[in-house]
Structures are given as structure tokens and as C-alpha cells.
Structure 1
Amino acid sequence: MRALRARVAGRLQTADGTSSREQAELVAEEITAWSVQRASRGDPPLSEQDERALAAAVLAALAGLGGLQPLLERGDVENIHLHGHDRVFLELADGSLQRWPHPVAASDAELLALLEAMFSRLGQTSREFSPARPIGNLRLPAGGPLGARLAAVREVTDRPRVAIRRHRLTHTTLTDLHHQGSLDTRLRHFLQVAVAAGLNLLVTGGPSTGKTTLLRALCDEIPKHEHVVTVEDDYELGLHLNPARHPVVTPLEARTANAEGVGEISLDDLLKQTLRHSPARVVVGEVRGGEITALLRALGNGAAGGMGTLHAVSARVVPDRIAALGQLATPPLPVEAAHRWAASALDLIVHLTRRDQDGRRERFVTEIAEVGHVGDAAIPDLTTLFGPRPGDARAIPACPPSPVLLTRLEAHGLDRSIFQHAGGRWEHDQGGERS
């Protein structure tokens, strides 16, 4: 295969701007010539299936993805876990775990060589992945329109370990999530109105609870005429890929330092730049550190309808989580100031949870809390508007919004009757009613 790859690569270098179809045709021509040479030596011919597999392997090698290519092309794969070159596990969208029977490289050494080449060529900047720099993160230009996110370690573990997360869903709506059972009729209505009213909100939850998917669905409700600035570590929201729905989007992506340790552009840098672009809305993919102060500053400076995601185990811990992240800022944000900023910048916290049982994975909204003024406890008061229902933790109406917020929401079409009978049923008018 190395000889085939070298011949195809040589032909591609002399061709100007070959398409993927033309690359496939070149590979097919070279495989035909190679098969003729094999026949002249008396070697047995390849089967049609073997020829297709060989062509796919050559194309994958040219793309720099090797044995990972077929896994990244599977639409049902959400996460790929490599524990060495030959222990490959696929986490599927339904929550099941599947063992992939084929190695992705001939050895751990070859896997490391593949990773080194990927870090060198496929990122925004050339990066080093070596014994001297044994931890690396990279966005792959494969696995869908938004690519995939790769995290790799070596030397600090027994064998090379790699985790790849595919961004499967590039366009999701609240109606899609409603049909899937992530939120009921009342929740969908409330969130649609909340976005239309320009409320600032955080989507929170643990790992793999669907925070980015819900954020993407919320963004789908943003009016077409509004200029949206998205700020992300890696492009995951993909609003700029849908100009029919979001014609005016400025997507900003952070950049890690190159192999020489220079050129880094952080989320904090990007958030400080956003207001210079006159956004109607600022949307942050995920806040993990001291950039929380820049986000709160952006939301508090008039960028109505701002949204973002944050790791948290419950809505109640979000103020303290914000205060803790504020301590990572430069200079650190005092806890009291973090609480005041959060109270003035945020309107809602939308919390998600995940439940795996009987081989099935469910992700759903479990709570929506209104963020109020700093109270007697010196933290923002939280009022649970939708709370977890006993038994299954799905969010049901608990308490109407404050008068000021209720007036704002009703001006954009909120049906306040959804709060008249707090508790009770999970209202779902598609595919039956959940009770």
C-alpha cells in the first residue's frame, strides 16, 4: 500500500485542485495497474471486495487518518476510544458500546506515528505530539461538516490512549428534541419564547448530557436578521454552516499554541473581541475557566439573548461554579463580584441530565431556574420555574416567573397557563403522551 500511496501522492502533486472524486479515480487507476503487475508475476488476483478495501485504505492514508477513516464516516458513532492500536471501542448514539474488531494501525508505534503526523498537518497550526509533549488535543477535518475532536495521551499512560468525539448533529431544533423526548410541549414553548425575548441563559449539565445539542437547538430560534457571534474552543455549533437559517454569523474559534509555544488565541481573547463586532447575540460553546468573566461582561454590556454551556451537577451549584471559575481569571474575580455579575448578566439556567438504562440512553431537561438578585446568602437567588418530577426527574412546571420576567415573556407570546397547574403530567403531543 505504501507504494500505491506514493504513486497516487506523486500524481496528485502534479494535478491542480483535484476533487475527492478525481482522487478516487486516480486510486482506481493505480490499483488496476498494480493488479496487472501482480498478474504478470503470477500472483492471485484480488477480489472486488479486497480492491474496494485497498482503495479506501489508500485514500484514508492520503488524508492522514489511516484506519480511523472508516470509523469517522459512520453516522451512528458518537465517540471512538482507542486503547492502543488494537483495542478499539465505539460508543454509539443509542448509548451502547461496541468493540471494533480491526486494529487502526499495525502497532502502537505506527499509531503514534499516525498521531504525530495528524498533529503536525491537520490542525490550525503545526503542533508537536511527542514524548516531550505527551498530551494533545486536535480538531479533525473529518467525521461530518463540523469534523471531530481528538484528545490523545502517551508516555503518561501504559499505551497510547485516544478519545475522538464526532459532532454528529449539525442541525437540531427544539421540535427535534421534543420528538426525541428531551423536552415536552410546555418546555418547548417556554424555551422558544425565552429566546425570542432575548433572555441570557446558560445550559448546564454533566458530560454527554446534550448541552451543545440543546444550545444549537436554541440558536435555531434566533431571528434570521440578527448578527450572531459564536465563540468556541472547537467549532461545534455550526451556525455558520447554515446560511439559510443564520445568514449573519461571525464564528470565532480559539487556537492553541504551535510547536514553538506561540500563537495561542484563547476564549478570553475572543470574548474580549466580540463586542467590537456589534453582535446582537453572543453564543459561547463552553466555558471552562477564567473566560467566564469575559462572558459575564459581554452579556452584562447589552448583548441580549446571549447563551453558553457550563459543566455543573445541578442548577443550584451554578453560582458557586461561576465564582470558582472567576478565581481562574487574570486577575482573579472576587467571589462577591462574580455573584453580582452573574445576577446581573443571567436570566435563566437550563439544566440537563442523562440516564442510561436497559441499553438505552436518554437525555432530557430536568430543571429551569430563574436567576434573581443577590440575596441574604450573598449569592444570586434561584427560583425553580421547571423542576424535576418525582420518579423520572423530567422537568415539569413548578413556579411562574417573577412579575418582571413574566411580563417580558408574555410580550413575546408566553402562554402563562402552563404554570397554572404545576406538577403532573409530562405533556408530549408527538408520538403519544408520557405520563
Structure 2
Amino acid sequence: MSGSLNITSATADPALLDLPWELPLADWPSESIASLPKGISRHLVRFANLSGYVVAVKETTAEMARGEYDMLRTLQRLDIPCVDPLAVITGRGTESGDELPSVLVTRHLRFSLPYRALFSQQLRPDTATRLVDALAVLLVRLHIVGFFWGDVSLSNTLFRRDAGAFAAYLVDAETGKLYPGGLSRGQRENDLEIARVNIAGELMDLAAGGRADEDLDPVELSNGIVAAYRQLWTELTGSESFSSHERWRIRSRVERLNDLGFDIEELAIKTAEGGTTVRIQPKVVDAGHHQRRLLRLTGLDTGENQARRLLNDLDSYIAANGKQDIDEEVVAHEWLIRVFEPVVKAIPRELKGKLEPAEVFHQLLEHRYRLSEARDADVPLAEALSSYINDVLRHRRDEATVIAPPTEALDLPLDAVDDGDEDTTTDWRDLV
């Protein structure tokens, strides 16, 4: 290998040295490539198998690779859903001495998909709405910690199924900047406008290629992220005033925030002169209320909606078995061993890549409910599980790493749309 290869990584994997860094990324041999669903990107991106998992390798400049690597690590420390940065590699060169671009290496997020891979034929309006809502939640979380994205789009986001909804993960932090003092309203509105325009363009592209339902209105849906964002932002950060005789509204506000999946780290409560009114305002909010409760009780690390659904089943188990007076952690461990784990173990080995375990359990509960409703009687869990495996799960595609035919990268002009999708190496023509 020509040149001096430099690898910057917090947890360096020696297997990184086995990848063909002396070759341009576009020329990597097929045995080094893992084919995954693609979106669009200005940068050349390839997927590679590494130590039993898949990594995304993006060619860029050394400065941009280091900047994005540092930013992703910072966002992880702030508990923001994003891809895991593994390494920055500089000093690449061919055997003939030609310099090669630096790369950023990130871990592929298992069971995640770019938005274009979330539908097999046409994107339905309700699916598009759920994607936009998930992106709105992610954008609010980013703005709360003071992160200005600068390139908000569906293509810059990965989505994981989360109990009937979607959870959004930031993929590309190249244009982002963190402001410790928080964002101004103008900065937040700028990000919102970028999101609205980009989402409208992405959905119009799908519609033009016959990949969207005819009832899907790209402009209406893109405006939806603005409405969803503002509603959530107000609920999380807005102040509320009420009579001192209505102190129950403090608890009500906390419960509403918990229902949205957020914990309150600090709550400012001010009493007006004379003690006639009380004003409350969440000072710092953190997402993942149900996730943390489920993790504490069972050790299961799931999506927020999945956690809420599993906790509901745990509560039902407690009520059905008359265990309300027993320590919650003890009963949770019993539920884990007697209910959740047997379901996971019953999934045939060849089907385990279809969905992650928490999503399987959620879908099983949904399937059991529909069977019981049709029969007008309770269906035993074991019977529902057998039906779900054979009639539903067996016919799903794998989402641990969804394989798609490999596509050669196309040279894009510098003024091409930069969606920065970690899962992408193609242009608009491949998608229509």
C-alpha cells in the first residue's frame, strides 16, 4: 500500500486494515462489498462486511470526515439517535502513488432502512405521514440540544420500525453545527424550511416515478412536518399558567410529556404575586421515558413505542395474575422469562433476520388481537404465535440487512442534491 495510512478511531477494529484502502472506493471488488438499499448522495458510499457486521464507507475530504466523526460522537453522548461513527481514515494512496480521498467509516444501523426501501411498490399517504412525524420528533430532539442540521431530509435519515410507527435516526451530520447556548428561533425556522422543501422534493420525485400513491400530496405532507414539529416543540418547551387551586395540572403536564416519550430533568415552577397563579415550564427534556423504564425493569433495549407496548403487556400480565402488590422488578423478570423470551426463542432460525425481537413481539400482540376479534374470543398466545410465524413473519423480507442488487456509482456534479444518505450511492435516475 502506497502512502502512510492513518486510522483515527475510539475503538479501532484490526479488521479495518484488511479492506482494500489502496483502491478507489468505486473500484472495490465485489467480495468486499455488502449490497444494501440505496438512496441518493453526492458522496460515494460503499458498504463492507467487517467482523460480523456491516459498515458504511464514505469518501470525502479529511477535514469533513474528521468534523463529521467528532459531531456524531458528540450527538451520541447527548443521547441523540444517530449512526455510530467508527473511524476516519486518511493518507490513502494507490500502489502507483496517486492520492486517494479520505473516508468516514460508520456502523450500519441494523433493522434500519432508508425511506425509499420502506415500501415495496408505492408509498401510501399514511406511511409517508408516519415518516414525516418521526423526522419531526428527531428534529425537535436535535434542536433541544442546540444542533442546527442544515440539511434536513428523509434521505438523510434512517428509519426503524417502532411498534407500528417509525423511529428516525440521523445519518449525515456533515452540515450540522452544535450551539451550546441553544438555537435561536430563526435558526429553528431555517431548519424547518429546509425540511419542508427537501421533503416536498423527495416525495414529488417518488410521485413522478410512479412510486407514490396517487392520493399522496407531497406539498401537504411536507407542510405536515412543520405542524408536527411546532405542536411537539410547544408541548415540550412552552410555559403554562393556571390558578394555584389547579395544581393537579402540574402532574398532568408531566404525564403528557411522558406519554410523548420524554422525561423532565428540570421543571421551573413560579408563583405570581399574591399566590393566585402558577406558571410551569419544562427547562430540560430528555426523550426515552418508556425505553429507560423497560431497560431498568427487564434489560431490554428497544424503541420508545416498542417499550410502551411491551410495558403495557407487562401491566396486563400483572393485572391478570393478581401481582399488583409484588415488587415491579420481580414481576418484570417473571414476565420476561415466561412471556417475552419464549416468544423470541420460538422464532425459527431462518426467520430471525426478518424483524428485531421487540417488533416481532409487538406485531404478535397485534396479530393476536385481530384473531381474537374475528373469533369473538381470546386466542391463546401459543396459537397466535404459530399463526403469526406462518401467515405473517415468514412472508416478510429480512430487515436486519436488507439486500438489494449492487449498483455502480454514478459521477454526480458538485451542484447535485446532497442528501448525504449513509445507505446511498446512486442518483435520481436510478429511482424513477
TM-score (norm 1): 0.27
The structure with the largest helix share of the pair is: 2
Higher relative contact order (CA 8 A, sep 6+): 2
Bigger proportion of residues as strand? 1
Larger radius of gyration: 1
TM-score between both structures, scaled by the size of structure 2: 0.28
